[in-house]
Amino acid sequence: LKVGRTERDKLVQEKQKQYAPLVRWLKINFGEIFVAYVHVKALRVFVESVLRYGLPVNFQAAIVEPTKASFKKLRAELHKLYVHLDASAAGPIDTFEDSPALMSLGVHDYYPYVFFKMNIEFIETKR
């Protein structure tokens, strides 16, 4: 029992010793990693827009952050606006889950517009 306690105390001290350098390293490198993350998302939007819809390379992209209450309404409005761009998207939004062709390609969320979820909540908040 005493050996286990000393081993635990050593591990706690080692953790405390490594914590400050780790936090310093994370603060320095987080900005670089986040910029790369945003660039990858922007590249995906560009490639999807050009390859899926054949848009000219001078199109306009936007980042939208809807509230939880308006998310479904925004999704429905975007669907109404852009349903003409994709012939396979003529059905209701919910029917794509039942499409074996799309499911076999690994497409679970398919829309007649380019949509990518971008996670920006990296710090877990205590409630």
Copy the structure tokens of residue 109. 């969320």
Confidence at 23, pLDDT banded by 50, 70, 90 = very high
Averaged pLDDT for residues 25-49: 90
What is d(CA 92, CA 97) in angstroms, rounded to the nearest whole number? Answer: 10
Q: Which of 77, 80, 63 is nearest to 119 (CA)?
A: 63
* pTM given for the model: 0.60
Greater confidence, 121 or 35?
A: 35
**Nearby residues of 35 by Cβ (< 8 Å), 6 or more positions away:** none
Going by the DSSP 8-state scheme, the letter that residue 98 receives in this structure is G
Instruction: Work out the average pLDDT over 83-90.
Output: 68
DSSP conformation class of 113:
S
